[in-house]
Amino acid sequence: MEPFTAGRPDSHTPLDVIVIGEALTDVVTTPSGVVEHPGGSPANVAYGLGRLGVPTGLLTAIGEDARGAAIETHLHRAGVRLLPGSRSLARTSSATATLTADGSASYDFDVAWDLPGNISALVPRVLHTGSIATFLAPGARTVKTLVQQAHQRCTVTYDPNIRPALLGSHTEARTIFKDFVPATDLVKLSDEDAQWLYPRKTVAETAAHVLGLGAKLAVVTMGAKGSLLASAETSVNIPAVKTGVADTIGAGDSYMSALILAFLRRATDGFAPAVMARMGRMAAAAAAITVSRAGANPPSLEELDGALRPGH
């Protein structure tokens, strides 16, 4: 396996990771005003990878508008390349959270998801996708086709990042997930995702079920309880890194970005226990850095490597 070398990509740099999925504007409305910032789980994962020095491209769907321009600028600051075909919507999607004085929130989504049908097959070292992009028609069909085309030629990682408000029936969503997993290699779920998809299964049982569907590695994050990484042969439990918590925004996406980096850094193929442990520890460290500060602010490569040094 070729060693991974971090670096910011320019327009000619081969991409180690391509992320396919939604980029949208998160709008937070409070009694004191409105704040907007770029969001969307796949876009957050791409941004996190860029911060970690991984040459990354994002295939998404945004509009030729101010919100779309803000998203592109945000990604560019992390060295993430917006791929051709991504400026395809009449307007950039948004997710609005309205907070009341007592802290309760209501949510409203204005999300469209579509991709051009003539996109050629994408073959980076890792193809990542997930969230709304794999469930919401019509774009979900294109994502599935691209993933199936790439699966035999690169590693596919998948985070369903369940958003019930944007899905159809529970049965329909679970069927989509079940049909999608066979074209993937690494599947990461939160414990909330696992509970929503399979309410009668334990975390370990859900991980085993995902492996049975065809994934080579199943990962379930459990917040302060750590995370479980399971292969067909074995499983490892990784404790969460103790840290002060500012908020948990972006923690799961930061975990996913670092998990992909750890995969790229493997010295050997396969998922031996020691390999899984290293991957889990790197991802947990990234999530801990992210929750220790406000907002979706994932670590730089220097910060993450520093947190993983012995004695830190």
Element at 78 (helix H, strand E):
none
pLDDT at 304: 96
Above 70 in pLDDT, residue 47?
yes
pLDDT at 91: 95
Above 70 in pLDDT, residue 8?
no
Mean pLDDT of 33-59: 95
Q: How many CB atoms lie within 10 A of CB 90?
A: 8
Nearest Cα residue to 31 out of 128, 98, 124, 79: 98
pLDDT at 147: 95
Mean pLDDT of 112-133: 87
Strand partners, 20: 59, 129
Mean pLDDT of 218-225: 96
Q: What pTM, to 2 d.p., does this model score?
A: 0.93
pLDDT at 119: 73
Mean pLDDT of 250-272: 93
**Taking all residues of the chain, what is their mean pLDDT, rounded to a whole number?**
91
Above 80 in pLDDT, residue 271?
yes
Residue 154 class from Cβ within 10 Å (0-12 exposed, 13-18 middle, 19+ buried)? middle
Above 70 in pLDDT, residue 275?
yes
Q: What is the pLDDT of residues 50-91, one digit of tens each?
A: 999 999 999 999 999 999 999 999 999 999 999 999 999 999
- 225: alpha, beta or left, given left = phi > 0 and alpha = psi -120 to 50? alpha
pLDDT at 29: 82
pLDDT at 1: 41
pLDDT at 35: 86
